[in-house]
Each structure stands twice: as C-alpha cells, then as structure tokens.
C-alpha cells in the first residue's frame, strides 16, 4: 500500500489513487441488474484491519475497522444485488493481507467477490480508509480506492467504498454516499407534528432541522446540497421557504396572498418551480432561487402541480387535472409544447424525472390503492413497482436505479413511513427513522 501522503492534508474527503490500474473490464464477476434479487451475488466483507490500534474522535481504529465493514456490507445488501458474507462469521484479515488476499480461504466461503480494506489513523487527526475489490475465482484485483476523512465522517468512507464495489460490479452509478431529507411525523392522525429531518440514505446520522411548531411539507434538496426548499405553515401562512443546511437559517422564497406550494429546484440550482392557486385555478410558475418576481409557465384551467425538471433542465414533467382527472404532462422549460404522456386507467400524480433522464416515476391511484410506478418520458413502458394501500411521492436515488417514497397505512392509527424500491420492483424495504416519516427527497451523490 503506497499512499501518496502529500494529498492527505486539505480536503475533508479525498479520493486517492493507489497507483495500480484496475483489472481489465472482462472480469468474470458481474451482477445481473435485471434479475434483481433473484440471484444476488455472494460477496465477502471481512473486518478492515488497522496497522496500529489507536484512539480517534470516532473510537479505536480496530472498532472502526469492524464498523466500516458493517456499513459496506449493509449498503451492498440493501441494493438487493448482493448477499454479503461478513464481517460477522468470516476470518479476520491481517493488515499485511489487505492487498494480498488468501484467495483459497475466500473461495471456501462460496463468495464470488471480496471486499477488503484497512483503516489507519493519520498524524493530522484524519483517517485513511483503503478499499479493495477482488474476483475470488479469477484471483485478481478488480479495483481499489483510498479515502481520507475526518473521524466524524467515517461512514462516508464506507459508503464511498461500497459505491466503488457496486459501480464496478453492476455497471450502475454510485448512490450510497448520499442523504435523504424528509418530514418526520409523530402525534395523532388528526394533528400530526411534522418536522424537517435529514439523514444518510441508510438512516444513519439522523438530525431534525425544524422544531415542529409549524406544519412542514415536501422538502427537496438543492442540487448543490447546501439548502432545501420546502413548504411551511409558519404563522399559519403557508409559503415556500429555503432552509440553509449549514447555518440552519430559513428564508421566505415565495409568499403570495394566494396559496403557493410544490417547490422544486432546477438542475442548475438557479430556479425553483412551484404551484400557485388563484381563483380555484392552480398553475406552475418559476422564480429565481434568490427570490424575485415569479414567471408563469402554465395557463390552463385546472390544477397544474408537482413540477419536476428533466436532468438537462430543458423540460418539465407535471401533473394536471385539465382532462378531468390527474394525468402527467411534459412541457418545455418555458411552458411551451405541453403534451400529455399518461393514458392508463386511474390517476397519475407526483411525477419525478430520473437523474438519468430515462424514466419518470409517479404515484398511480386506482382500485383503492396508491402505487409507485415508472414510465418513459414519452409515456411508454409503464411499470408499477410497489403494491400497497398508500404508497406516494417517489424520489430518485442519485444513480436513477432506486426510489424512495412514503407508505401510509389505513385507519385511525394510520401513519406513514419512509421506504425504498429499486427498478426491479423486487427490493422493497423500509428505511429506518426514529419516528414516522413522509415526503422523502433523495439528495445528489456527495462530492
């Protein structure tokens, strides 16, 4: 392990090149994306050793080595594409073997791939985390990465390592090193207390952002992840606010005598689109992210809301009941050329354009249930991914392969929780939150 020490100093999280090129791309191990969980790949994730067990702000490096492996294994398992072996129940790897695995032993575990690594405390208080991926049967290294992090950000190094493995084996983009902002809920159904909260995509590092005195709804990340746009009933005057994550300050973005809601950033972060209701007619507007006079984009009788930009910013998908029921429409970003794209039975709502650009996720209402589905931006290839009584409000992972949404349950004790599902529709799971949760918005990959 030859890590260029000169690069350790500055960045909070730096990706280091280890010097060796990754193995050729025709490796034998590959994850079957389309198959979903039908045939997940066995992958060994042993504890990451440390060259010397020292205390850090995040605990002893020996304990961190275990925790890092646990986070990596958990990420890979949650993707639905892997069945991790370890760190519990597999052999400890001596530090000297981190870059020279005992392939014979790992072949005996039936693992097809192997993630090894190490954690080292540096003199300047940072940690270096090494991450190596091997093809067990071919006995070759597939890729390696190193990360330098502050002890407080050790989980990010694990997520980056898991992203390295996932990307190399699946061919998909990374998404584990990302966060979700959502509305934490508690209290009786008729008077829910709602607070903005933020967490890592695996539910860790949970933090409340607002105190619950006012109803808050529909938070969405800014593309630069510095701020969140959302709707608040502060002073019983519902309006659109921007929350600055760094300072904790909130500023009013749009308030009108009329109701304003459903805000979302443009991909370049310069604009916020939102809906405004006037005289029983709701249209979509855009306003500069720094405020100012809104410009109207739609002008049709009916409720036009739920606007979401295409990743290149050139188009907007939205829902409208202009035909009589909620349906999805795509228009140019200036409001021109509005075309209906949903024609199935039932209602289509809450569209969200994939960051990959290839799909639009939505809530489909019909037959007494709300379900999450996807279709192409031209309206073809519709596929429903979830099947429950009250699934609503999909939001895409940074790589466009997973959706988070909320699932409401019925009755007087009904509540909502945050869930995720991938494009196979097979891997549906709840994201752990301290209280109930709704309106999740998945942020971009962290830099």
Partner 1 sequence: MAKLTSKLIVAAALVATAGCAKKRPEVLPPAPGETVAPTDGAGTGAQTGTGVVPGSREDFQQSVASDTVNFALDSYDIDPQARSILDSQAAWLQRYPNVRVTIEGHADERGTREYNLALGDRRANAASNYLAARGVSAARITTISYGKERPLALGSDESSYAKNRRAVTVVLQ
Please report whether residue 301 would count as binding partner 1 according to CB under 8 A.
yes
Beta bridge partners of 120: 128
Is residue 69 within 8 Å of 45, Cβ to Cβ? yes
Please, what is the minimum distance in Å from the beta carbon of residue 392 to partner 1? 6
Binding positions for partner 1, 363-392, rule CB under 8 A: 363, 365, 370, 390, 392
Please report whether residue 349 would count as binding partner 1 according to CB under 8 A.
yes
- Residue 398 CA: distances (Å) to CA of 180, 356, 424: 11, 8, 17
Please report whether residue 435 would count as binding partner 1 according to CB under 8 A.
no
Please report whether residue 238 would count as binding partner 1 according to CB under 8 A.
yes
Distance, CA of 268 to CA of 289 (rounded, Å): 10
Please report whether residue 215 would count as binding partner 1 according to CB under 8 A.
yes
Please report whether residue 412 would count as binding partner 1 according to CB under 8 A.
yes
Please report whether residue 235 would count as binding partner 1 according to CB under 8 A.
no
Binding positions for partner 1, 153-212, rule CB under 8 A: 188-192, 194
In this structure, the number of other CB atoms found within 10 A of the CB of residue 278 comes to: 11
Distance, CA of 316 to CA of 360 (rounded, Å): 11
Q: Give the tokens for residue 328.
A: 């999805």
Please, what is the minimum distance in Å from the beta carbon of residue 312 to partner 1? 24
Q: Decide whether 130 or 306 has the Cβ nearer to partner 1.
A: 306
Please report whether residue 104 would count as binding partner 1 according to CB under 8 A.
no
Please, what is the minimum distance in Å from the beta carbon of residue 349 to partner 1? 4
Stretch that binds partner 1, among 122-130, 150-158, 213-221, 424-432 (CB under 8 A): 213-221
Q: Residues 293, 299, 301, CA angle at the centre, nearest 5°?
A: 130
Binding test (CB under 8 A) with partner 1, winner from 67, 78, 210, 326? 326
The dihedral built from the CA positions of residue 311, 316, 317 and 318, taken in this order, carries a sign that is positive
Please report whether residue 393 would count as binding partner 1 according to CB under 8 A.
yes
DSSP output for 309-341: E-TTSSEEEEEE-TTSS-EEEEEETTS-S-EE-
Distance, CA of 185 to CA of 426 (rounded, Å): 27
Please report whether residue 234 would count as binding partner 1 according to CB under 8 A.
no
Binding test (CB under 8 A) with partner 1, winner from 112, 282, 308, 310? 282
- Residue 297 CA: distances (Å) to CA of 125, 143, 315, 425: 52, 47, 12, 34
Task: Return residues touching partner 1 (CB under 8 A).
Answer: 188-192, 194, 215, 217-218, 236-238, 259, 261-262, 275, 277-282, 296, 299, 301, 303, 305-306, 319, 321, 325-326, 349-350, 363, 365, 370, 390, 392-393, 408, 410-412, 414, 438-439
């Amino acid at each position: 392990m030859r890590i260029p020490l000169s690069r350790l100093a500055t960045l909070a999280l730096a990706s280091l090149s280890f010097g060796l090129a990754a193995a050729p791309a025709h490796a034998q191990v590959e994850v079957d994306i389309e198959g979903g969980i039908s045939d997940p790949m066995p992958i060994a994730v042993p504890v990451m050793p440390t060259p010397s067990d020292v205390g850090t702000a995040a605990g002893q490096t020996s304990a961190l080595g275990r925790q890092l492996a646990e986070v990596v294994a958990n990420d890979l398992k949650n993707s639905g594409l892997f069945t991790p072996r370890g760190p519990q129940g597999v052999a400890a790897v001596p530090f000297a073997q981190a870059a020279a695995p005992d392939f014979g032993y790992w072949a005996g575990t039936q693992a097809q791939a192997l993630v090894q690594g190490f954690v080292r405390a540096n003199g300047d208080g940072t940690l270096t985390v090494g991450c190596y991926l091997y093809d067990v049967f071919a006995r070759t290294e597939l890729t390696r990465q190193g990360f330098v992090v502050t002890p407080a950000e050790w989980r990010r190094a694990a997520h980056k390592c898991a992203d390295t493995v996932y990307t190399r084996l699946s061919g998909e983009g990374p998404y584990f090193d990302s966060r979700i902002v959502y509305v934490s809920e508690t209290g009786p159904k008729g008077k829910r207390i709602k607070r903005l909260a933020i967490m890592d995509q695996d539910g860790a590092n949970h933090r409340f952002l607002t105190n619950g005195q006012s109803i808050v709804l529909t938070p969405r990340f800014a593309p630069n992840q510095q701020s969140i746009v959302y709707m608040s009933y502060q002073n019983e005057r519902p309006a659109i606010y921007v929350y600055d994550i760094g300072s904790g300050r909130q500023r009013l973005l749009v308030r009108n005598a009329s109701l304003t809601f459903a805000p979302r950033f443009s991909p370049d972060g310069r604009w916020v689109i939102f809906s405004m209701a006037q005289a029983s007619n709701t249209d979509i507007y855009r306003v500069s992210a720094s405020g100012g006079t809104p410009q109207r984009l739609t002008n049709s009788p009916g409720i036009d809301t739920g606007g979401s930009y295409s990743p290149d910013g050139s188009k907007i998908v939205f829902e409208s009941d202009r035909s009589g029921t909620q349906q999805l429409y795509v228009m140019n970003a200036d409001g021109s050329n509005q075309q209906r794209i949903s024609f199935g039975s039932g209602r289509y709502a809450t569209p969200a354009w994939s960051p990959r650009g290839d799909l639009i996720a939505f809530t489909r209402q019909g037959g007494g249930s709300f379900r999450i589905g996807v279709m192409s931006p031209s309206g073809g290839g519709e596929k429903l991914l979830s099947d429950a009584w009250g699934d609503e409000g999909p939001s895409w992972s940074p790589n466009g392969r997973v959706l988070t949404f909320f699932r409401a349950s019925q009755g007087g004790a009904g509540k909502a929780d945050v869930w995720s599902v991938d494009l196979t529709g097979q891997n549906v799971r709840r994201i752990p939150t301290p209280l109930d949760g709704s309106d999740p918005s998945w942020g971009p990959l962290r830099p």
